[in-house]
Amino acid sequence: MIAVASALGMTAVLGGCGLTGSSGEVTLKLVAADYGNSTQNSSQKYWDKLARQYESKHEGVKIDVDVYSWNDVDSKVRKMVDAGDPPDMAQIGAYSDYAAKGLLYSADDLLSIPTQADFVSQLAQAGEVRGVQYGLPFAASTRVLFYNKSLFSRAGLDAPKTWNDLAADAETLKAAGVKYPYALPLGPEEAQAETMQWLLSGGGGYTAAGGSYAIDSQENVDTFTWLKNDLVGKGLTGPVAPGKLNRATAFAAFAAGDVGMLNGHPSLMKMAAEKGVKYGMVPMPGADGPSEVSMGVADWMAAFRKNGHADQIGDFLDFVYDKKNVLDFSREYDLLPVTTSASQVMSGAEQDAALKPFLDELPVSELPPVGQTSWAQVSADIKQRIGQAVAPDSSPTSVLNQLQATASSAQLAE
């Protein structure tokens, strides 16, 4: 969800999760997602170092970690669960369907009170299913609008504040020969995130106040009608159809200097800086001014009950969520910390100043409805179909109606 999808491939999943050897040693199996973009900063290195540190002070407990790319990790865990051999812990993109089946330990089962109390409150709440926290937030980010300062300067443009500003700037950039005036990644990799950011900026969102899906609300229809007619239809989103453009490709194009504007999360800063691209960041434009609500995103740690070892899992996770370890991970991968103690440090630290725009957005951000067990199905449907809402011969209303029908059926089946 948050990280740039890694091209790193790992070996097949090992069996024997949560094994206890004859000596009484407990081996905890952890499957985790890769937030790195090369072998040099693979998350495997982070976890291996953390595991060795923990093991050195906890005789009799071993931590066995396999790291997979974001393209593979959720399906790897799903296959393990379906085979009746889940890992003890999984750091993945969604947790609620496992929780609904009674497969997970709750936070109360595992964590010390200080660790639980340290989670950023809105992230902890997003980890709840029917009022019980099963999803432990592991990494967070918000979204802001990135723009290429060099392209804007040469075109005599200021950063946009409204949709009309954004469209006008895109027109000027297109006339100047910019390949992607605004990159609109509605391809299957992470279309649900780009979609939500636009829906929020138009005063809508995925759900209504009571929690029911409202994908085809008038606000959402108006947003996608504007996107189709005023941005995509005028050729302002580049040579690749939005429904075929993935987030990773859009980010790479921005780092190559080929994109004028796009929605981005913190990892894009490092990508752009490494390529020498000068960029600015502003809140997402809205219909009448800067959007008052940003999209928040969290990835999750989940602990499976199958093999037992709640005490050992909880003690290791207390270590994982220690302030120093949360800071180290967040700084390594340009992500927002999920604990209040680490957030307070980053908010005041000069070395973390670049993350301030994202930290500022977090208190006014809204997360997808990850606590609903239907969300995994609804999100997958959005990824596959939302690009059609801005296609030349399609109707935004029709596409959103279809998505709403599927979402309502999935919600009723919860």
> What is the predicted pLDDT for the residue at 24?
66
> What is the predicted pLDDT for the residue at 41?
85
Per the CB < 8 A criterion, the answer to whether 36 and 43 are in contact is: yes
Give the pLDDT band of residue 1 (cuts 50, 70, 90).
Answer: very low
Q: In this predicted structure, which of 205-209, 258-262, 313-317 has the lowest mean pLDDT? A: 205-209
Q: In this predicted structure, which of 226-230, 324-328, 340-344, 356-360 has the lowest mean pLDDT? A: 356-360
> What is the predicted pLDDT for the residue at 10?
30
Give the pLDDT band of residue 7 (cuts 50, 70, 90).
Answer: very low
Ordered structural domains, the chain, with CATH: 26-141+298-363 (3.40.190.10), 144-283+374-412 (3.40.190.10)
Which has the higher per-residue pLDDT, 155 or 334? 155
> What is the predicted pLDDT for the residue at 16?
37
- Res 56 pLDDT > 80: yes
Per the CB < 8 A criterion, the answer to whether 352 and 71 are in contact is: no
> What is the predicted pLDDT for the residue at 15?
34
Give the pLDDT band of residue 413 (cuts 50, 70, 90).
Answer: confident
Give the pLDDT band of residue 22 (cuts 50, 70, 90).
Answer: very low
For residue 196, what are the contacts with CB-CB under 8 A and spacing of at least 6? 205, 206, 295, 368
> What is the predicted pLDDT for the residue at 136?
98
Spatial distance between the Cα atoms of 78 and 203, rounded to a whole number of angstroms: 35
- Res 285 pLDDT > 90: yes
Query: pLDDT of 354-389, one tens digit each?
Result: 898 898 888 778 999 998 989 988 999 999 999 999
Give the pLDDT band of residue 189 (cuts 50, 70, 90).
Answer: confident
Query: Can you tell me the mean pLDDT for 53-57?
Result: 96
Query: Can you tell me the mean pLDDT for 51-57?
Result: 97
Q: Between 43-57 and 323-332, two packed helices, what is the crossing angle to 10 degrees?
A: 160
Mean pLDDT of the chain: 91
For residue 21, what are the contacts with CB-CB under 8 A and spacing of at least 6? 27
| Token pair belonging to 77 | 């865990």
> What is the predicted pLDDT for the residue at 17?
42
